[in-house]
Amino acid sequence: MTDIDIRCGVEVDVMDVNGTLDLPWSRGVDHVLISAHDYPSATGPQAPEEVRASLVRGDVTSHDVVSTLVEATVAAMSQTEHPIIAHPFSLMGRLGIPESTITPSQVRHFARSAHVTGTWVEVNERWACPGPHLLRELVRHDVPLVAGSDSRRSETIGLYRHVRDAGALLAAYSK
């Protein structure tokens, strides 16, 4: 017998604007970590380079891209039990769009949806997300937060500078 509570989780991608996940089954999985590594368009996942090129050509606006990303992520929250949004909106950096582009109403919508669906949100070290405006709204809506390193190298496992700073920000905010 052990005092350690072992959980099984799997990270999946949001495939389209409807929040479809690339998850064939979730039996025996304690948590489904939902992420957007590619852009979840109406026709399926698009590589960040393609979306960036569309932005440069003016085929699409950053407002449209952000709106679709927020809506797809919100829709994905109700696609599975025990969801966790992993490295929320980290894709935006790869698209050349700052997280601060997410409007206050979109931030509230995301936080409200996470609360209603029981979705947890990861504070991610590698991608330094979410940022302060999103963190504050998540706390306002009593959304559970979980720390993740997303480390790719053994020497960075367990180093949580962004997570620590986010915690300090939230502690100052709650005073």
Domains and CATH numbers, the chain: 9-173 (3.20.20.140)
Q: What percent of the chain has pLDDT over 70?
A: 97
> Using one digit for the tens of pLDDT, what is the confidence trace for 110-159?
999 999 999 999 999 889 899 999 999 999 999 999 988 887 888 877 77
Q: How many CA atoms lie within 13 A of 128 on its CB side?
A: 6
Kindly report the CA angle at 79 between 76 and 82, in degrees rounded to 5?
A: 95
Q: Show the tokens assigned to 28.
A: 């025996």
pLDDT band per the 50, 70, 90 thresholds, residue 86: very high
